Amino acid sequence: MTLINILIGVSIAIAVLTGTALLMWLLFEWHYKTRQGNLLEFDSGVWQFLTYEPDHYRLELILTATNKTRNLDVFLTEVNPVISLLSNDSLEEIDSQIQLRSRHVNVASRNDNYWESYIVTPFQSTGVEIVIDIRGKNLEALRTAWVRVNHTIYGPGGREEKIKHCIIPLQFPDANQRERWRPTPDADVLPIRTHILSAGDNPVEVMQRYVVSHAQPGDIVTIAETPIAIMQGNFYHPSDIHPQWLAKRLCYYFKSTSSLATACGLQSLINESGAWRVAFAFVVGAIAKAVLRTPGVFYMLAGEQARLIDDVTGTLPPYDQFIVLGPKNPQAIVDQIKAGTGLEAAIVDVNDLRRVKVLAATSGASEKLLNQALLMNPAGNASEQTPIVLIRPNSSN
């Protein structure tokens, strides 16, 4: 056997061993990447007032944490709720206290606000009960309680510190208060004030509470897309968004006024539409804009959420701290509103630049009428807290 044959044989053996090792490494990595890790998730929570008096509010918030992994235990080792109060006035004479209790199965709850580590087995849940007492002389000025439930998850994915954000309204407008109708060429419009909506609200119940007393047959009720998304819990704190390679680089190519001009904003789109789709949309959009002088192609290709995402500061406090996505299944929502109120309904995206986009509407809501009636943005884009607009067509329409 010649030296050349020996070298060839050794080279082949090395190539086979290298290829086998590489294949095993790729399979090992793929197996690791497909692991679910510490998949313990909180729901949106259920809250209620136990006391609602001029100088004392007592609230109960109950959250359920569910282990969604197939066969791995996950530990909920720490829970520490913190409250921030938003008010129209000073908080100097207002005091708030929090009581924390567990709702573990077959485990007695403590009364000292200490959270005992608890193992949540696959597809099982445990509960967190938070009671908030607010006392003071000026509670009527309070608008919202923002509860940050800091918690630590421990398991196969290591130790992770997370925050569950719960927004609880404290101020509720009088649903029967007479508002002022505003004339437009084809219809009169009535902006309707609500409490600050949260993930604990239901769109149909909100309409029944605030709209029905003002409405009559033939009216059309519209609601902005952002509060619908908020009621669906479709919003994220930037700390929950982890920008990857693509988002960190592409975000610099969007205008500073775009909600995609930050790494977290763009990553939230990638999480919804997928990295390959966003990358493809960016390349094609850039070519279309540079060569064909055709703007907006990226937003056509990147998915509906590309136009609907509101980055930080995009809405009123405390949601100005969050990235709010567009609503899910908007057509189903407007159909539910019509079934629950008897009114034609639409979900719209309106701004002060005289742009009206109808995301979904029931069959009796004319898109032409909606565009005309909402052209001047009667709901406003600031802190008006009037996400609903009731439209009453003129008799000639």
pLDDT per residue over 18-68, tens digit each?
A: 878 888 887 777 766 666 677 899 999 999 999 999 999 999 999 999 999
Tally of CB atoms within 10 A around 20: 10
Per the CB < 8 A criterion, the answer to whether 236 and 268 are in contact is yes
Distance separating alpha carbons of residues 178 and 219, to the nearest angstrom: 17
What's residue 333's pLDDT? Answer: 96
What are the Cα distances from residue 173, in Å, to 82, 117, 140, 197, 320?
26, 41, 11, 12, 21
Lowest mean pLDDT, pick from 7-11, 87-91, 112-116, 118-122 = 7-11
Domains of the chain listed by start with CATH number: 40-169 (2.60.40), 182-233+326-393 (3.30.1330.100), 235-324 (no CATH)
Q: Which residues is 183 bridged to in the sheet?
A: 188
Tokens of 163: 């925050």
Q: DSSP secondary structure string, 269-298?
A: HHHHH-HHHHHHHHHHHHHHHHTS--TTHH
The mean pLDDT of 270-298, rounded to a whole number, is 92
What's residue 184's pLDDT? Answer: 87
- Judged by phi (left if over 0) then psi (alpha if -120 to 50, else beta), residue 158 lies in left
The mean pLDDT of 247-262, rounded to a whole number, is 93
Distance separating alpha carbons of residues 99 and 47, to the nearest angstrom: 14
Torsion of CA 358, 385, 239, 308, to 10 degrees: 10
Q: What are phi and psi of 371, to 5 degrees?
A: -60, -40
Chain segment 185-218, per-residue pLDDT in tens: 888 999 999 999 999 899 999 999 999 999 999 9
- Higher per-residue pLDDT: 27 or 240: 240
Tally of CB atoms within 10 A around 51: 11
Q: What is the mean pLDDT of the chain?
A: 90
Chain segment 290-349, per-residue pLDDT in tens: 888 888 899 999 998 999 999 998 788 999 999 999 999 999 999 999 999 999 999 999
The secondary structure of 365-380, three-state, reads CCHHHHHHHCCCCCCC
Question: pLDDT over 70 for what percent of the chain?
Answer: 96
Q: DSSP secondary structure string, 222-270?
A: EEEHHHHHHHTT-EE-GGG----HHHHHHGGGS-TTSTTSSHHHHHHHH
Per the CB < 8 A criterion, the answer to whether 56 and 175 are in contact is no
Which positions ≥6 away from 97 have C-beta within 8 Å? 132, 133
